[in-house]
A and B are shown apart, each in its own frame.
Chain A
Amino acid sequence: MKILVAVKRVIDYNVQVRVKEDGTGVVTDNVKMSTNPPDDNAIEEAVKIKESGKAKEIVAVTVGEEKAQETVRKALAVGADRGIHVKIDGIIEPLAVSKILRKIVDKEKPDLVFMGKQAIDDDCNQTGQMLGALLNWPQATFASKIEVKENSLEVTREVDEGLETIEVNTPAIITCDLRLNEPRYASLPNIMKAKKKPIEQINASDLGVDTNSRIQVIKVEEPPKRKAGIKVANVEELVQKLKNEAKVI
């Protein structure tokens, strides 16, 4: 079995994101970037499946600017066998990413495609689903547990009501939840070995895919600052204020 894992380079989750002064987006200069956290879970799960002997090869793929390669390199350091970097500058929307990934799937013919359930930068939560539609493959989203069977997977999904367990036939798309596993650390020797693993670079423009934006960003602004709270003397006053001032009851 072959697993393709898609990873994205995003602003590190510890960094306080700042909106550009002109309201056209967020500041990414001089900002620490990292692999999208649930993508780390996706890689980890693929590596676990390979370690259990059920998969033969893991290919990590990313779509983005030159430096996006770092995320592929990190995936290689924790167990992916080789990498693909589809190079494209600027902001690229989920539909374009899914179209690019479909081309990669056509070429690589994996049995499974893993990725994070959503990226923490745009929070779109669309790429996996769109790729499923484009390929006409079954999808299991928000996976918090995966069991590999003969020609299918049993996947436990984190849904609002609790947990849902479904079975999907392979080939399939799985989007991973943070609860799926605890990603391992890359060890020094593995980071060194990863430097020698191959990363194939493809220009997005060579794939014959329409990557034009479908969404026009009108304005990006910071959420309003929270106002300081007040102390109320008793429950009566609280109820009265909720009713008359906040008008929520």
Chain B
Amino acid sequence: MSREVMEYDVIIVGGGPSGLSTAIKLKQLNPDINVCLLEKASEIGAHILSGNVFETRALDELFPNWKELNAPVKTKVNKEKFLFLGKSKSLSWPTWLLPKVQHNHNNFIISLANLCRWLAEQAEALGVEIFPGFPASEVLYNEDGSVKGIATQDMGIDKEGNKKDSFESGMELHAKITVFAEGCRGHLGKQLIKKFELDKGKDTQQYGIGFKEIWEIKEEKHEEGLVMHTAGWPMDKNTYGGSFVYHAENKQVFLGYVIGLDYKNPHLSPFDEFQRFKTHPSIKPILEGGKRISYGARALIEGGLQSLPQMYMPGALLVGCDAGTLNMPKIKGSHTAMKSGMIAAETIVDNLKENKSLSSYEERFKKSWVYEELYAARNVKPSFSWGLILGIIFTGIDQILFRGKLPFTLKHKHADHEALKPANQMPKIDYPKPDNIITFDKTSSVYLTGTNHADNQPVHLQLKDKDLPIKYTLEKFDEPAQRYCPVGVYEVQKEQDEEKFVINSQNCIHCKTCDIKEPSQNITWVTPEGGGGPKYGNM
């Protein structure tokens, strides 16, 4: 079947901070380059979820006048707290004893989704063509094996793969350079890393799952500009995780929890850990009398420099967390993602003008402050594989005394999907029932994400072996998909004494956790019909 073809100089896949910054920088450097940006969400920002305490370094470089341009970066951090939580007590850690990278007094509490919407407006004003609602579903290759572009998803296909009346064929978009900016665990990025062996000689990638809720709280409890982080309870000392509580504008609090996906106990439910966290005596009072208005979750990259793949290949570049530029100890990835996109744009402009090799992307990257940051941060996450206490002690030495300049690099030894121990060897966890005031179940939470996928379309969560969940994963790991999925897409149902694995794909919020954590890598996340997925507001 021949598809319609459109040609561009540069195609960017993904409208997050890295993709939008690439597009903007390209146009700033050369307005004549034609740039097309595709986004799978129904509008820019609708699939963006992030804390977010924002460091403006990359934005300062991209738009020195961002304040005059009325960027939605308004709430300056004015107070910081760090708490170690015990089950019912908490210990406040003096902020001067925190590594410098965790100081936030020059940063802002923002909604990254709103920043992306603003960046998209700037990009469009510069002439970037932005198309929300069009997922790139396939990489196209030239005969010489280089990346030729992408194809968008066909629309209007039914569950059985037949064309509906509304069928609309996908298109081929060809470009001189294609930039992949899909964010953590991009489904095309994953294929490219494999095909071009971009991760050769690198450590295995590490991930986490991050939850976020937005609460509107009582005025007297709201301290605009306050940033608080916690470690400890409800995580056990061998599980990597922590919380954030950011007091944003309009009496809102951005509250969230991040758990390393290298957790070992298949009975652990990241969603329930987050819900339980909110019941802690130092957290609950903040929320009491308030109202939860948003919920969402998204996987994030934690591997850092050791796991960062080669970011260029013939005809294409990886930017932001499609490669993995998040700075873990800083708990920030937006500024590094943006900068990686800006460096990519500089590389592309030179490539188009002087036919310079795309490999110069890596050289530029190594000379940039992003690399410097990631280098200094590299040993923090792996040290936590020794447990919380040793991790903290090591991180103190590494970050405070040596500022990340210790002369060795710790390795990530295992992929996250290999970390689970058999269910019968690990303790079951008894999670409290939701009270529907502070804590909630998955059903009412999904509702707040606004997620939807047009019904009667092929299931976009594909099983390589459809019998494996019941025959193997259920028996050995008590099918952890029931618990790691933040919206209850996966269920094991009993029908007349026979167990059945059910995939409620319409609830999917595109977090990619299943694609990462499934112990046999049996689940593959592919793009659903355009416009599907969550409808996040100011996440």
Among A12, A34, A192, the one with the most B-chain Cβ atoms within 10 Å of its Cβ is: A12
B509 → chain A, closest Cβ, in Å?
Answer: 12
Which residue of B is nearest A21, CB measured?
Answer: B216
**Is the beta-carbon distance between B42 and A12 smaller than 8 angstroms?**
yes
Mask: chain B, 399-441; 1 = CB below 8 Å from A; 0 = not? 0000000000000000000000000000000000000000000
B532 → chain A, closest Cβ, in Å?
Answer: 10
Among A14, A187, A191, the one with the most B-chain Cβ atoms within 10 Å of its Cβ is: A14
Which residue of A is nearest B168, CB measured?
Answer: A185
Q: B247 within 8 Å of A by Cβ?
A: no
Q: Which residues of B contact A12 (CB under 8 A)?
A: 42, 450, 535
Which residue of A is nearest B152, CB measured?
Answer: A188
**Is the beta-carbon distance between A30 and B537 smaller than 8 angstroms?**
yes
In chain A, positions 9-24 with a C-beta closer than 8 Å to chain B are 12, 14-16, 18, 21
Known: A14-B450, A185-B156. A31 touches B537 (CB 8 A): yes
The interface size bin for chain B is 20 to 34
CA distance A188 to B154 in the complex (A): 11
Q: B164 within 8 Å of A by Cβ?
A: yes
Q: Nearest 6 pairs between A and B by C-beta?
A: A30-B537, A30-B538, A32-B535, A185-B155, A185-B168, A14-B452
**Is the beta-carbon distance between A182 and B166 smaller than 8 angstroms?**
yes
Q: Which residues of B contact A32 (CB under 8 A)?
A: 42-43, 46, 450, 535, 537
**Is the beta-carbon distance between A189 and B6 smaller than 8 angstroms?**
yes
Q: Which residues of B contact A184 (CB under 8 A)?
A: 156, 166, 168
Q: A138 within 8 Å of B by Cβ?
A: no
CA distance A16 to B445 in the complex (A): 11
**Is the beta-carbon distance between A18 and B450 smaller than 8 angstroms?**
no
**Is the beta-carbon distance between A14 and B4 smaller than 8 angstroms?**
no
Q: Which residues of A contact B166 (CB under 8 A)?
A: 182-185
**Is the beta-carbon distance between B452 and A187 smaller than 8 angstroms?**
no
A to B CB contacts below 8 Å, 11 in the list: A12-B42, A15-B450, A18-B293, A30-B537, A30-B538, A32-B535, A32-B537, A182-B165, A184-B156, A185-B168, A188-B134
Between A and B, how many residue pairs show CB distances below 8 Å? Answer: 55
10 extra interchain contacts, Cβ-Cβ under 8 A, other than A29-B537, A182-B164? Answer: A12-B535, A14-B452, A29-B538, A34-B42, A187-B168, A188-B134, A188-B152, A189-B4, A189-B171, A191-B131
Looking at chain B's contact residues, the main secondary structure is: mixed
Which residue of B is nearest A18, CB measured?
Answer: B293
A55 → chain B, closest Cβ, in Å?
Answer: 20
Known: A30-B114, A187-B171. A16 touches B448 (CB 8 A): yes
CA distance A30 to B171 in the complex (A): 31
The interface size bin for chain A is 20 to 34
Q: Which residues of B contact A14 (CB under 8 A)?
A: 450-452, 535
Which residue of B is nearest A32, CB measured?
Answer: B535
Which residue of B is nearest A192, CB measured?
Answer: B129
CA distance A191 to B448 in the complex (A): 30
CA distance A183 to B166 in the complex (A): 7
Q: Which residues of B contact A183 (CB under 8 A)?
A: 166
Which residue of A is nearest B532, CB measured?
Answer: A14
Q: Which residues of B contact A34 (CB under 8 A)?
A: 42
Mask: chain B, 150-192; 1 = CB below 8 Å from A; 0 = not? 0010011000000011101101000000000000000000000
Mask: chain B, 29-61; 1 = CB below 8 Å from A; 0 = not? 000000000000011001000000000000000
CA distance A241 to B222 in the complex (A): 45
Q: B205 within 8 Å of A by Cβ?
A: no
CA distance A59 to B83 in the complex (A): 61
CA distance A16 to B535 in the complex (A): 10
Q: Which residues of B contact A31 (CB under 8 A)?
A: 537
CA distance A88 to B311 in the complex (A): 49
Mask: chain B, 449-482; 1 = CB below 8 Å from A; 0 = not? 0111000000000000000000000000000000
**Is the beta-carbon distance between B447 and A16 smaller than 8 angstroms?**
yes
CA distance A12 to B450 in the complex (A): 9
CA distance A184 to B131 in the complex (A): 17
Q: Which residues of B contact A16 (CB under 8 A)?
A: 447-448, 450
Among A12, A183, A185, A191, the one with the most B-chain Cβ atoms within 10 Å of its Cβ is: A185
Q: Which residues of A contact B169 (CB under 8 A)?
A: 187
Q: B306 within 8 Å of A by Cβ?
A: no
CA distance A192 to B134 in the complex (A): 13
Q: Which residues of B contact A189 (CB under 8 A)?
A: 4, 6, 171
Q: B111 within 8 Å of A by Cβ?
A: yes
A120 → chain B, closest Cβ, in Å?
Answer: 14
CA distance A55 to B268 in the complex (A): 61
Q: Which residues of A contact B164 (CB under 8 A)?
A: 182
B221 → chain A, closest Cβ, in Å?
Answer: 15
CA distance A14 to B533 in the complex (A): 10
CA distance A184 to B156 in the complex (A): 9
A52 → chain B, closest Cβ, in Å?
Answer: 15
A31 → chain B, closest Cβ, in Å?
Answer: 6
In chain A, positions 60-110 with a C-beta closer than 8 Å to chain B are none
In chain A, positions 177-236 with a C-beta closer than 8 Å to chain B are 182-185, 187-189, 191-192
Q: Which residues of B contact A191 (CB under 8 A)?
A: 131
B112 → chain A, closest Cβ, in Å?
Answer: 12
CA distance A187 to B530 in the complex (A): 11
B178 → chain A, closest Cβ, in Å?
Answer: 16
B344 → chain A, closest Cβ, in Å?
Answer: 23
Q: Which residues of A contact B156 (CB under 8 A)?
A: 184-185
CA distance A191 to B129 in the complex (A): 11
Mask: chain B, 9-24; 1 = CB below 8 Å from A; 0 = not? 0000000000000000
Q: Which residues of B contact A187 (CB under 8 A)?
A: 168-169, 171
Which residue of A is nearest B43, CB measured?
Answer: A32
Which residue of A is nearest B42, CB measured?
Answer: A32
B538 → chain A, closest Cβ, in Å?
Answer: 4
Mask: chain B, 499-524; 1 = CB below 8 Å from A; 0 = not? 00000000000000000000000000
Q: Which residues of A contact B538 (CB under 8 A)?
A: 29-30
A243 → chain B, closest Cβ, in Å?
Answer: 30
Known: A14-B450, A31-B537. A188 touches B42 (CB 8 A): no
Q: Which residues of B contact A18 (CB under 8 A)?
A: 293
CA distance A184 to B448 in the complex (A): 27
B530 → chain A, closest Cβ, in Å?
Answer: 8
B126 → chain A, closest Cβ, in Å?
Answer: 15
CA distance A67 to B452 in the complex (A): 24
Mask: chain B, 234-267; 1 = CB below 8 Å from A; 0 = not? 0000000000000000000000000000000000
Among A29, A32, A183, the one with the most B-chain Cβ atoms within 10 Å of its Cβ is: A32
Q: Which residues of B contact A192 (CB under 8 A)?
A: 129
In chain A, positions 144-192 with a C-beta closer than 8 Å to chain B are 182-185, 187-189, 191-192
Which residue of A is nearest B447, CB measured?
Answer: A16
**Is the beta-carbon distance between B111 and A30 smaller than 8 angstroms?**
yes
CA distance A112 to B92 in the complex (A): 70
Which residue of B is nearest A34, CB measured?
Answer: B42
CA distance A15 to B42 in the complex (A): 12
Which residue of A is nearest B46, CB measured?
Answer: A32
CA distance A29 to B72 in the complex (A): 13
